[in-house]
Structure 1
Amino acid sequence: MPTATPTPTPTPTPQPAGEPTHTPTPTPTVTPTPTPTPLPAAGRILFSSDRDGNEEIYVMNSDGSNQTRLTFEPQRDRFPVWSPDGNEIAFTSRRDGGDSQIYLMGSDGTAPVRITNNASDDSNLDWSPDGNKLAFNRYNGSFSEVYAMNPDGTDQVQVTNTGDGSQPSWSPDNNRIAFMSNVGGRDHIDVINVDGSNHLQLTDGSLSNSAPSWSPDGTKIAYASIAEFGGTGEIYVMNSDGTNQVRLTNNPANDGEPVWSPDGSQIAFVSARDGNPEIYVMNADGSGQTRLTNNTAIDFDPDWGP
């Protein structure tokens, strides 16, 4: 019987250098990182709304919770602003007939008291940071100017003399007021000393710049701007001297009425991006834009207080 010859074991063919054999690794699925919702800053937000049939004053927490009606009048109540200590609210109303006048009430809506009484419309209020003055604009049917007065309505003094000053916002040092003015059919943001001196124009070139709001640290001014015909309003921020104008919002609907949180970390504003004007909040750099109110009515005139 012949002896079997063993079959030689084949020698493996070496892989070329630099080309190791790999076991394929599945490609991981990348989940987009959602834009974080901003943590609510401290304080409460006043606003106007016609959700109950006519314009009334409401208040809510800074996260949009606990929305509470403060005024109950058949006439328009608007432009609410907090006193710096949070104990009082100034607002305008037509409740006594005729033109819009300024009132004070407690932070819970109690004990309203009328503090102006004239034949002009008063609106767009702002309380000085030290609590000693209220700024507002007064429209006599032809011209609008910025005024300042004591919170009890005494010592009413005209600050601007442009024929079209409105929407005042106090600087944190109580010495200057930013406001909207108009030259050549274009609304722009100006600043002026409280005594009426040193009037400076900060913005130009856009069709409309409006609703200035001074940051709590005094370094920035937020405002709304429409840059071109047919365009929509967007929120911008700039240095308090008018430099470094930066756009914060960008959508096809109108955004406006920016106001800062007391700590300067966030901005509340009004937007119609979801079909009708609602109150939104975003971080001071424009990130984390979040809706706070959600109804079929108009919510506007925000003011963020303690």
Structure 2
Amino acid sequence: MNTQENTRRFFFACSLLLFAGATVCVDAKIVFRVDSDIYVMNDDGTGRRRLTHNITTKDNYPRWSPDGTKIAFTRYMDKDKIQTSSELFLMNADGTELQRLTHNNVTDHYPSWFPDGTKIAFMSERSGRDEVHVLDLVSDAVTQLTGLADDNRNGGSVAPDWSPDGTQLTFERFLRIRAGLSPKNIYVMSADGQHQRPLLPNPAAGEPLTLRFFPRWSADGQRILFAEVQWLQDGQLEKLIVQRIGRGKQEITDINDRLGNNWVGSGACWMEKDRAILFSLMLKDKAPPNYNLYRYTFATRGLRRITREPSDEDWPDWVEGALSVSPQGKLPTQWGEIKHAAQMKQSR
């Protein structure tokens, strides 16, 4: 590897971890997708700013870095063939300094930042099946975490999310069955891929088809938010659920009480130190149907619509603000070690 490439990596590590005057910060709290592009805006829906301008490509699933200065996201390289190839990209919070992170011509998707900003967990099919991998942003090394053991029930693992202390990951797993559609469940594992276990019991044979999607760890590390869809005889039922680790689950019934079973979700995340959640939904009886962003507050049980545009607006992510450590204050940045490692690579 040449000196120029090593220098690029060194300064890339600096930009991730060194919070100095040159660091790019914006006031926006919400990043989300509008049709094919990435936007940011304030909590109340004001201050909308478009960050990407796609013509032949399509962006999806944006995630704030822990310090709020960068955004990782998925880019489908051909918007007309979104099942064939997607890669991970990175940019500053204002849309500048776009950088491609993966070059595989396969599906790389669902980025999730390690709490100190030095690694990204993601789903990739580079092994022949959708599995969870981790990308080291300093060395570019990729490590596969799931799909390594001989498990005839594992039908693939996607949508990883780090715990706030960086010791665990939660993710979705397809469960193989002999016939019919495969159910999905939420799993948890150690950061090295060990001790993979279901968060809830796997759906049993004979139960309604159940799929659990897009888990997100709470800031206090005690709960996991996810969506659950069940196919019943009278139609599809979707719910947002909060599962307390080692304890019971809380179904957020207020959404269904107000909207019935007339909605379909597309991504949810925590906000305001776990006091609220931000998510997108589409009303199935609306003509034409499209996704918009909503906020649910636990204390008041209030549901508020944030966007009202005719476009599809989904996959939101929220950031606490620019910090010098992880958002939960539990995992200090190991800047000295990372800087030393980058300098050693540069000198080779």
The answer, yes or no, to whether TM exceeds 0.5 is: yes
Structure 1: 5+ residue runs without aligned partners? Answer: 1-41
> What is aligned with 2:301?
287
The answer as to whether partners of 2:266 and 2:314 remain within 8 angstroms in 1 is: no
| Letter of the structure 1 residue corresponding to residue 47 of structure 2 | N
1:293 and 1:158 map into 2 onto residues whose CA distance is 38
Q: Which has the higher helix share?
A: 2
Q: Which of 188, 193, 202 does residue 191 from structure 1 map onto?
A: 188
> What is aligned with 2:230?
227
User: Residue 120 of structure 1: CA displacement?
Assistant: 1.4
> What is aligned with 1:112?
98
User: Residue 284 of structure 1: CA displacement?
Assistant: 3.5
The answer as to whether partners of 1:233 and 1:256 remain within 8 angstroms in 2 is: no
1:286 and 1:255 map into 2 onto residues whose CA distance is 21
Q: Tell me the SS of whatever aligns to 1:63.
A: coil
Q: Rate the CA distance shift 1:121–1:92 in 2: closer, same or farther, 3 A.
A: same
Structure 2: 5+ residue runs without aligned partners? Answer: 1-26, 148-153, 204-208, 322-348
Choose 215-224 or 281-290, whichever is displaced more: 281-290
User: Residue 67 of structure 1: CA displacement?
Assistant: 1.3
User: Residue 158 of structure 1: CA displacement?
Assistant: 0.8
| Letter of the structure 1 residue corresponding to residue 129 of structure 2 | F
> What is aligned with 2:48?
67
> What is aligned with 1:175?
167
2:311 and 2:137 map into 1 onto residues whose CA distance is 31
Matches within 5 A, 1:13-52: 44-50=29-35
2:109 and 2:313 map into 1 onto residues whose CA distance is 17
Report the number of matched residues: 261
For the aligned residue pairs, the C-alpha RMSD in angstroms reads 2.2
| Letter of the structure 2 residue corresponding to residue 232 of structure 1 | L
2:107 and 2:76 map into 1 onto residues whose CA distance is 9
The answer as to whether partners of 1:216 and 1:262 remain within 8 angstroms in 2 is: no
> What is aligned with 1:264?
274
User: Residue 242 of structure 1: CA displacement?
Assistant: 6.0
| Letter of the structure 2 residue corresponding to residue 178 of structure 1 | T
2:192 and 2:144 map into 1 onto residues whose CA distance is 9
2:128 and 2:247 map into 1 onto residues whose CA distance is 29
> What is aligned with 1:138?
124
> What is aligned with 2:15?
none
Q: Rate the CA distance shift 1:151–1:96 in 2: closer, same or farther, 3 A.
A: farther
| Letter of the structure 2 residue corresponding to residue 259 of structure 1 | C
Choose 79-88 or 282-291, whichever is displaced more: 282-291
Structure number with larger C-alpha Rg: 1
Q: Rate the CA distance shift 1:113–1:256 in 2: closer, same or farther, 3 A.
A: closer
2:67 and 2:247 map into 1 onto residues whose CA distance is 30
> What is aligned with 2:140?
154
The answer as to whether partners of 1:193 and 1:199 remain within 8 angstroms in 2 is: yes
The answer as to whether partners of 1:255 and 1:271 remain within 8 angstroms in 2 is: yes
2:219 and 2:120 map into 1 onto residues whose CA distance is 17
Q: Rate the CA distance shift 1:81–1:286 in 2: closer, same or farther, 3 A.
A: farther
What TM-score results when the alignment is normalised by the length of structure 1? 0.79
Work out the percentage of aligned pairs sharing the same amino acid: 31
1:45 and 1:263 map into 2 onto residues whose CA distance is 14
1:125 and 1:242 map into 2 onto residues whose CA distance is 28
The answer as to whether partners of 1:43 and 1:262 remain within 8 angstroms in 2 is: no
Choose 247-256 or 156-165, whichever is displaced more: 247-256
Choose 77-86 or 251-260, whichever is displaced more: 251-260
The superposition leaves residues 137-189 of structure 1 with CA deviations (integer Å, 9 ceiling, x where unpaired) of 11359520011112357111111114410011111110111101021311110
The answer as to whether partners of 1:238 and 1:245 remain within 8 angstroms in 2 is: yes
> What is aligned with 1:253?
263
What TM-score results when the alignment is normalised by the length of structure 2? 0.70
2:78 and 2:127 map into 1 onto residues whose CA distance is 19
Q: Rate the CA distance shift 1:93–1:244 in 2: closer, same or farther, 3 A.
A: closer
Q: Rate the CA distance shift 1:272–1:165 in 2: closer, same or farther, 3 A.
A: same
| Letter of the structure 1 residue corresponding to residue 121 of structure 2 | A
> What is aligned with 1:20?
none
Choose 76-85 or 203-212, whichever is displaced more: 203-212
The answer as to whether partners of 1:116 and 1:153 remain within 8 angstroms in 2 is: no
1:153 and 1:103 map into 2 onto residues whose CA distance is 16
Q: Rate the CA distance shift 1:256–1:73 in 2: closer, same or farther, 3 A.
A: closer
Q: Rate the CA distance shift 1:271–1:153 in 2: closer, same or farther, 3 A.
A: farther
The answer as to whether partners of 1:268 and 1:282 remain within 8 angstroms in 2 is: yes
User: Residue 255 of structure 1: CA displacement?
Assistant: 2.8
2:139 and 2:50 map into 1 onto residues whose CA distance is 25
User: Residue 210 of structure 1: CA displacement?
Assistant: 0.7
